[in-house]
C-alpha cells in the first residue's frame, strides 16, 4: 500500500521542531529517540508500520493546542492517537509526522447523575468510563470488544460500536459534546450535556471524522441506569446461512434484543481452545442477549425460542446464572485474540442489510474457495455489521496482497447489496481507495470541502479516509 513520500525538508528540521515542542510541554512528553518512537509505528493493523518523526504526550487541552499551533506554523503533519487499537490503520504515522497521543489525558472531569452525563478527558479508556459510574448503578453503553484498551478519543473518531449497540446505538447516539482543538490551535466546544444543541449539528460531523478535522480532548457522554436484569442465550445451528436467516427473522418479528452476535465454526473452535467458554460444537452460533425484569426477559426469550425452533437449532441454552453469562461474553470478547493465536488474519468491517445476511455469508464462503484463503466470521449480526477474518500467512510472499484483494471483494459485495464499506472500524488507510466504490465524485467532493474548512493545509492525519490520488492533488493544489 503506497504512502506519501516523507517531506525531507521537515525531517531536516526535526531537532528544531522537537526543541519548539519542548518549549510548551514537560520534557517527558516529547519523544524523539527512535527506540521509543517505534512504540507508535503502527496500530492494530500491524501489517503496516512507519515510525513517526516525534511523538508527544500532552496532559491538557491547552498543551494540545500549543502543539498544534507549532505544527501548523511549521507545516508538520499531525496524527492523533488514542490507544492505537484501530483495525483500519487510522493511527498509522508518516515518517515526517508528529504523533499526538492522548493516553495521559484520562481524567474524569464531571459526573452528573441528575442529568445523566459524564465528562471525561478523551484518553480515558472505554471500559473505565463505565468503571467510574457502575458502583452507583450506571453504565456507558457503547462496548467495543477492545473496550479494555481503546480510548474514548478513538471511539469518537471512528464512531465505534459494539455488541450491545443493537439496542443502545453506537458512539454518535451516546455522545453529547466534545472539546475539539483545530489544527491552528483554536479550541472549540461543540455540543454539551444537553440532548439537543442549537445551530448546525457539528457534533455529527466530528463523530466518525477519523482525526481529519481536529483533536478531540474532552467528551461528554450519556450514561444510562443499569438494566434490572440481562440474560444471554447460545443458539447453535448446523449452517451459517440458517443462522443468518434466524437473525433476519428475529429482527423482522420486531424484537429488539440488546445484542445478536454471530460466530462460525472456525471462530467457535479457536475461541473454545482459548477462552473455554463452553460453546457447543456446531457450524454457527448466535449469542442473543435480552434485558429487563424477569417477566420481560422470559417473554422475550420465549418469542426468540419460537423463532429459533423454526430453524432446527442444534442447541438453545440460556445462561443459568451470572457466571455462565460472563463466560458466554468472555468467549465472544476473546474471539479476535483467539484467532490471532492460531493465524495471521485481517479483520474486515462492513455493513449490510440484515435481510441479505444468508446471501452474503454464502458468497463469502464461495470467495474463500476462489481465493484459496480461509475465513472466519464473528460479528454483530443484529445490525448487519460483518467482521470476516481472512486468514493468511504474513511470511508467505504475495499472501497479504491476496488477502487484501479478497477483502476488497467482500467490501464491494457489502456495497452491492445496499450496505456500506465500514461498520464501526472506519476507513483509515485500509479502505481509502475503495471510497470510490461507495461514493460518486460529487459525494466525495462534499466530504473534501468539509476537510478544507477544518484543516485547510491538510496537515491532520494525512493519507487516510480519502483515496490517495484525491488527497495528493488536494494537498498539492
**Interaction site with ligand FAD (CB under 6 A):** 43-44, 79-87, 90-91, 102, 122, 144-146, 150-151, 153-155, 157-158, 160-162, 210-211, 215-216, 336, 424-425, 461
- Residue 55 vs 79, nearer CB to ligand FAD: 79
What SS3 state is found at 297? helix
- Residue 91 vs 290, nearer CB to ligand FAD: 91
Query: Contact at 8 Å (CB) between 160 and 379?
Result: no
Residue 432's contacts (CB-CB under 8 Å, 6 or more residues apart) are 463, 464, 465, 466, 467, 468, 471
Residue with cell 454457527: 284
Q: How far is the CB of 426 from ligand FAD (least distance, A)?
A: 6
Closest residue to bound ligand FAD by CB: 154
φ, ψ at 344 (rounded to 5°) = -70, 145
**Is the C-alpha dihedral spanning 91, 93, 94, 97 positive or negative?**
positive
- Residue 117 vs 454, nearer CB to ligand FAD: 454
- Residue 93 vs 313, nearer CB to ligand FAD: 93
- Residue 121 vs 248, nearer CB to ligand FAD: 121
- Residue 162 vs 407, nearer CB to ligand FAD: 162
Q: How far is the CB of 253 from ligand FAD (least distance, A)?
A: 25
Query: Contact at 8 Å (CB) between 303 and 286?
Result: no
Cell (9 digits) for 38: 517505534
Gyration radius of the chain over CA positions = 22
Q: How far is the CB of 213 from ligand FAD (least distance, A)?
A: 8
- The span from the CA of 346 to the CA of 354, in Å, is 23
Q: How far is the CB of 49 from ligand FAD (least distance, A)?
A: 14
Query: Contact at 8 Å (CB) between 365 and 240?
Result: yes
Q: How far is the CB of 313 from ligand FAD (least distance, A)?
A: 25
Q: How far is the CB of 12 from ligand FAD (least distance, A)?
A: 25
Query: Contact at 8 Å (CB) between 398 and 404?
Result: no
Q: Do you know the residue count of the chain? A: 477
Query: Considering only CA atoms, which of 428, 424, 425, 426 is closest in space to residue 462?
Result: 428
- Residue 215 vs 414, nearer CB to ligand FAD: 215
- Residue 120 vs 307, nearer CB to ligand FAD: 120
Cell (9 digits) for 411: 467490501
Residue with cell 466504490: 437
Buried b vs exposed e over 282-314: b needs ≥16 C-beta within 10 Å? bbbbbbbbbbbeeeebeebbeebeebbeebebe
- The span from the CA of 463 to the CA of 278, in Å, is 44
- Residue 21 vs 87, nearer CB to ligand FAD: 87
DSSP, res 38: G
Q: How far is the CB of 105 from ligand FAD (least distance, A)?
A: 8
Q: How far is the CB of 461 from ligand FAD (least distance, A)?
A: 5
Q: How far is the CB of 123 from ligand FAD (least distance, A)?
A: 7
- Residue 379 vs 406, nearer CB to ligand FAD: 379
Residue 331's contacts (CB-CB under 8 Å, 6 or more residues apart) are 271, 272, 275, 277, 278, 279
- The span from the CA of 2 to the CA of 388, in Å, is 24
Q: Is 421 exposed, middle or buried (0-12, 13-18, 19+ CB in 10 A)?
A: buried
Q: How far is the CB of 475 from ligand FAD (least distance, A)?
A: 17
- Residue 146 vs 271, nearer CB to ligand FAD: 146
Complete DSSP assignment for 160-180: ---TTHHHH--GGGTEEEEEE
- The span from the CA of 191 to the CA of 197, in Å, is 6
Q: How far is the CB of 65 from ligand FAD (least distance, A)?
A: 13
Amino acid at each position: 500500500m503506497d504512502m506519501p513520500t516523507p517531506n525531507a525538508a521537515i525531517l531536516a528540521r526535526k531537532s528544531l521542531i522537537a526543541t519548539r515542542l519542548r518549549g510548551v510541554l514537560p520534557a517527558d512528553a516529547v519523544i524523539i529517540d527512535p527506540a521509543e518512537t517505534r512504540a507508535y509505528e503502527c496500530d492494530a493493523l500491524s501489517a503496516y508500520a512507519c515510525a513517526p518523526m516525534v511523538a508527544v504526550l500532552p496532559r491538557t487541552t491547552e498543551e494540545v493546542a500549543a502543539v498544534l499551533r507549532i505544527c501548523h506554523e511549521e507545516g508538520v503533519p499531525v496524527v492523533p492517537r488514542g490507544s492505537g487499537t484501530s483495525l483500519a490503520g487510522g493511527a498509522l504515522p508518516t515518517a515526517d509526522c508528529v504523533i499526538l497521543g492522548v493516553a495521559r489525558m484520562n481524567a474524569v472531569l464531571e459526573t452528573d447523575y441528575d442529568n445523566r452525563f459524564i465528562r471525561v478527558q478523551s484518553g480515558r479508556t472505554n471500559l473505565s468510563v463505565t468503571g467510574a459510574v457502575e458502583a452507583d448503578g450506571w453504565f456507558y453503553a457503547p462496548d467495543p470488544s477492545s473496550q479494555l484498551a481503546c480510548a474514548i478519543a478513538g471511539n469518537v473518531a471512528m464512531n465505534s460500536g459494539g455488541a450491545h449497540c443493537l439496542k443502545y446505538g453506537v458512539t454518535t447516539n451516546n455522545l453529547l459534546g466534545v472539546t475539539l482543538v483545530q489544527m491552528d490551535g483554536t479550541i472549540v466546544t461543540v455540543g454539551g450535556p444537553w440532548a439537543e444543541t442549537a445551530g448546525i449539528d457539528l457534533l455529527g460531523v466530528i463523530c466518525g471524522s477519523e482525526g481529519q478535522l481536529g483533536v478531540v480532548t474532552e467528551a461528554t457522554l450519556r450514561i444510562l441506569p443499569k438494566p434490572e436484569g440481562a440474560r444471554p442465550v447460545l443458539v447453535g445451528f448446523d449452517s451459517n446461512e440458517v443462522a443468518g436467516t434466524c437473525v433476519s427473522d428475529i429482527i423482522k418479528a420486531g424484537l429488539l434484543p440488546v445484542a445478536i452476535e454471530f460466530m462460525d465454526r472456525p471462530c467457535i473452535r479457536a475461541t473454545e481452545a482459548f477462552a473455554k467458554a463452553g460453546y457447543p460444537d456446531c457450524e454457527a452460533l448466535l449469542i442473543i442477549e435480552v434485558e429487563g425484569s424477569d417477566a420481560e426477559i422470559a417473554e422475550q426469550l420465549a418469542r426468540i425460542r419460537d423463532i429459533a425452533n423454526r430453524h432446527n437449532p442444534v442447541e438453545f441454552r440460556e445462561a443459568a446464572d451470572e457466571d455462565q453469562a460472563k463466560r458466554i461474553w468472555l468467549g465472544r470478547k476473546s474471539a479476535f485474540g483467539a484467532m490471532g493465536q492460531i493465524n495471521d488474519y485481517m479483520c474486515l468491517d462492513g455493513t449490510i442489510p440484515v435481510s441479505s445476511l444468508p446471501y452474503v455469508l454464502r458468497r463469502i464462503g464461495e470467495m474463500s474457495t476462489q481465493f484459496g484463503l480461509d475465513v472466519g466470521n464473528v460479528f454483530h449480526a443484529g445490525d448487519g455489521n460483518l467482521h470476516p477474518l481472512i486468514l493468511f500467512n504474513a511470511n508467505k510472499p504475495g499472501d497479504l496482497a491476496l488477502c487484501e484483494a479478497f477483502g476488497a471483494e467482500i467490501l464491494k459485495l457489502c456495497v452491492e447489496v445496499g450496505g456500506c464499506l465500514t461498520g464501526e472500524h472506519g476507513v483509515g488507510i485500509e479502505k481509502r481507495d475503495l471510497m470510490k466504490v461507495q461514493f460518486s465524485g460529487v459525494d466525495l467532493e462534499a466530504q473534501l470541502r468539509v476537510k478544507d474548512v477544518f484543516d485547510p493545509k491538510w496537515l491532520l492525519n494525512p493519507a487516510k479516509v480519502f483515496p490517495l490520488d484525491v488527497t495528493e492533488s488536494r494537498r498539492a493544489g
